[in-house]
Structure 1
Amino acid sequence: MTKIRAGSVKFEHVKKTFGNFTALPDLSLEVEPGTLVTLLGPSGCGKTTTLRLLAGLEHPTSGRILIDGKDVTMLPANERDVSMVFQSYALFPHMNSLDNVAYGLESSGMKKNEARERAEEGLKLVGLAGMGHRLPAELSGGQQQRVAVARALVLEPQVLLLDEPLSNLDARLRRQVRTEIRELQQRLGFTAVYVTHDQDEALAVSDRIIVMKEGHIAQQGTPRELYEAPASAFIADFMGEANVIPCEVLGVENGIAEIRVGRALHRLPAANAQPGPAQLAIRPNAVTLMPDDKGDFPGRVAHSAYLGDHIEYEIETEFGRLFFVDSDINEPLPGQTDVSIHFKNRGLALIAQ
């Protein structure tokens, strides 16, 4: 299989309503050719509607959708140069893997011998060479998922769409298969739009993440940008969990803010904050818990749980109950222990009010 010609994607002020419900009020976004962009967000945020609009399974109420510069807004699904990997895989149970992969090619008019040859190549591409004779029921969940990806890729689409492709796999297999998808995308250079509600999955596979909330883009950027510089408390908590507490910005100079939190002063990237009230996002692993009174603010252990390589703590503080993790499993802090919270150098982000 040759390297797939990657196409760009553009939504221009797309609105989508279902009766009286507006799923997408006014969506504009771009996907660069050869990149993997993830639409991330909670249930009902509009990410699946966006994917279905791009696939041609729905049509917008208003606005335009372009693929590689071509207006496809009202084109049916079979006239768009896209392929989709569904959450359920949608494999034909009575067909073996080879026939499943070749089906789309044969349906488009390709001769059977040529279709089967390309299907064999597609199975080899996803690590299933020699397994074309197996029925879906004879494959593991991860193997079925790879057959679905091969079936989509052999059509050589300009854009590959993936709708929650790993949701039916267990945690360990999800890690393995997401790595395979990412390596395949980078090797072949195709454009991919990936939908998930799993933050770890999005961080692991994406060139860029678009976080959606109630049909709007809440924030977009690289995985590192969204994790380390969230624009809101919603993003901070959604991208990997965070404790969000109030703080005060004392001053800003050269993009660095001096803040007061509890009884301590810190300097952080300003993130558009101005002097006055603000919020501080604290990642669970961004602190050290010490049985002293010299930290940023005091607390008391309300609950702890041993999880093998770390301990989870819930700490009662003046800001409410906060969640932290500690890799020191040799000396766990018992319940009702008075502690102070010491901030580390990483895992803190200032959020403007």
Structure 2
Amino acid sequence: MTLKTRAGSVVFENVTKTYGKGAVTAIDDVSFDIHPGELVTLLGPSGCGKTTTLRMIAGLEHPTTGRIMIGGKDVTHLPATDRDVSMVFQSYALFPHMSVVENVAYGLTVSGQKKAEAHDRAREGLGLVGLADYGDRLPSELSGGQQQRVAVARALVLEPEVLLLDEPLSNLDAKLRRHVRTEIRDLQQKLGLTAVYVTHDQEEALAVSDRIIVMNRSVIAQQGTPRQLYEEPASAFIADFIGDANLVTGEVFALNGEMADVDIGGERVTLRQRGHGLGSVEVAVRPDAVRLSDGAEGAQMSLKGNVTHATYLGSAMHYTVQCEVGELFVIDGRIDAPIRAGSEVGIGFAARGLALVSGQ
């Protein structure tokens, strides 16, 4: 017996969800496509609509208007029990009085499958998540990471078209989160699963996703690959939300096709113009794209600043620098030659890590 995967697509067409006779809009005219075999993360701050979106895929909520398709089938008004999806909950929702194998087999047995067959499939599911020898234990005898893997196995044995994961790592400590997210990603790719993953953790989203849909104020702010969102944020909100970013004002003084020459406090860089014309623009600058120099080299730079804070974090120095364009947060890997707080420095910018953004 081998667990099967039937990766399905997910399509939202102009979906809106309101509560209280339209007084509160949780989702506002949202459209997106998730392709079979993709892991797509819904990312955003609290209250942005990401969890409501996941619950509508699951059938736990229904749209006010619009259409939802799973695997090419219109499921807009179908209840959760009639949808071919499985969800991994934030709380794991394991039954404490049942053994691990009984927990994993639960969905199969309540659907009418014979106990012996259900347990065989459950043990196979536990093998997939590296817990083949843990079937006879109680959940209380497992670590948090192991309990999370049991919850994933319980979802997988139902052989869903779409696997839904709602903040699956939020109950784990930081080091364990990194380990388990890698396991989830490896398993998703190995089985070719379609997965929709909800988190508010930007690093987690960058680490596990094929694509990220960033939501804000009930709408999609931007969607794309992790690299696209990090290196080409469309707005100040995206730049600030996906990783750290310094938002500074620059001046476009020349255009050359798709490129723009930009002056930032006297330092000049060439960036993709992204629809911006001549004049004042907002520039997102990643902390590791700022170059600090003191001494003679720093004196030759047009943009100068003063280091107000210098912090050693083992693998890098973190600096706060006050300058003409504002306060800059800087990450510098040169830990063997730190710059002292109070030092005057010259400021330059790397070829990558800067982007023109809108102010929204």
Question: TM-score normalised by the shorter chain: which range applies?
Answer: over 0.9
- In terms of mean alpha carbon deviation, does 160-169 or 338-347 score higher? 338-347
| Runs (5+) with no aligned partner, structure 2 | none
Q: Does 1:316 align with 2:322?
A: yes
- In terms of mean alpha carbon deviation, does 149-158 or 68-77 score higher? 68-77
- Contact 2:44–2:216, Cα closer than 8 Å, also in 1: yes
Q: Does 1:44 align with 2:47?
A: yes
- 1:273 positional shift: 2.1
Q: Does 1:160 align with 2:163?
A: yes
- 1:92 positional shift: 0.5
Q: Partner of 2:12: helix, strand, or coil?
A: strand
Q: Partner of 1:285: helix, strand, or coil?
A: helix
- Contact 1:274–1:352, Cα closer than 8 Å, also in 2: no
**Letter of the aligned partner of 1:13 in structure 2?**
N
Distance 1:154 1:274 in 2: 54
Distance 1:156 1:253 in 2: 53
**In the alignment, what sits opposite 1:351?**
357
Paired residues, number:
353
**Letter of the aligned partner of 1:185 in structure 2?**
Q
Q: How does 1:89-238 map to 2 (within 5 A)?
A: 89-238=92-241
Q: Partner of 1:277: helix, strand, or coil?
A: strand
Q: Partner of 2:341: helix, strand, or coil?
A: coil
**Letter of the aligned partner of 2:129 in structure 1?**
V
- Contact 1:3–1:189, Cα closer than 8 Å, also in 2: no
**In the alignment, what sits opposite 1:327?**
333
Q: How does 1:271-290 map to 2 (within 5 A)?
A: 271-290=274-293
Give CA-to-partner distance per residue, 1:244-269, whole Å, 9 cap, x none: 10111122223111111111221122
Distance 2:223 2:255 in 1: 25
- Contact 1:296–1:343, Cα closer than 8 Å, also in 2: no
Distance 1:115 1:274 in 2: 63
Q: Does 1:302 align with 2:308?
A: yes
TM-score norm. by structure 1 comes to 0.97
Q: Measured at CA, do residues 45 and 296 of structure 1 come closer, stay the same or move farther in structure 2, by a change above 3 Å?
A: farther
**In the alignment, what sits opposite 2:299?**
293
- 1:232 positional shift: 0.5
- Contact 1:229–1:271, Cα closer than 8 Å, also in 2: no
Distance 1:110 1:297 in 2: 71
Q: Does 1:35 align with 2:46?
A: no
Distance 1:68 1:193 in 2: 14
- 1:190 positional shift: 1.1
- 1:296 positional shift: 5.0
Give CA-to-partner distance per residue, 1:67-118, whole Å, 9 cap, x none: 1111111111111000000001111111111000000000111111110000
- 1:216 positional shift: 0.5
Distance 1:331 1:253 in 2: 39
Q: Does 1:338 align with 2:353?
A: no
Q: Does 1:14 align with 2:20?
A: no
Q: Partner of 2:148: helix, strand, or coil?
A: helix
**Letter of the aligned partner of 2:44 in structure 1?**
G
| Runs (5+) with no aligned partner, structure 1 | none
- 1:332 positional shift: 2.0
**Letter of the aligned partner of 1:9 in structure 2?**
V
**Letter of the aligned partner of 2:116 in structure 1?**
N
Distance 1:229 1:43 in 2: 23
Q: Partner of 1:245: helix, strand, or coil?
A: strand
Q: Measured at CA, do residues 132 and 2 of structure 1 come closer, stay the same or move farther in structure 2, by a change above 3 Å?
A: closer
- 1:274 positional shift: 2.0
Report % sequence identity.
63
- 1:320 positional shift: 2.1
**In the alignment, what sits opposite 1:82?**
85
Distance 2:279 2:5 in 1: 52
Which 4+ residue blocks in structure 1 deviate beyond 4 angstroms? none
- Contact 2:3–2:121, Cα closer than 8 Å, also in 1: no
Distance 2:157 2:254 in 1: 57
- In terms of mean alpha carbon deviation, does 220-229 or 320-329 score higher? 320-329
- 1:319 positional shift: 2.2
- 1:34 positional shift: 0.8
- 1:310 positional shift: 1.1
Q: Does 1:257 align with 2:260?
A: yes
Distance 2:252 2:46 in 1: 34
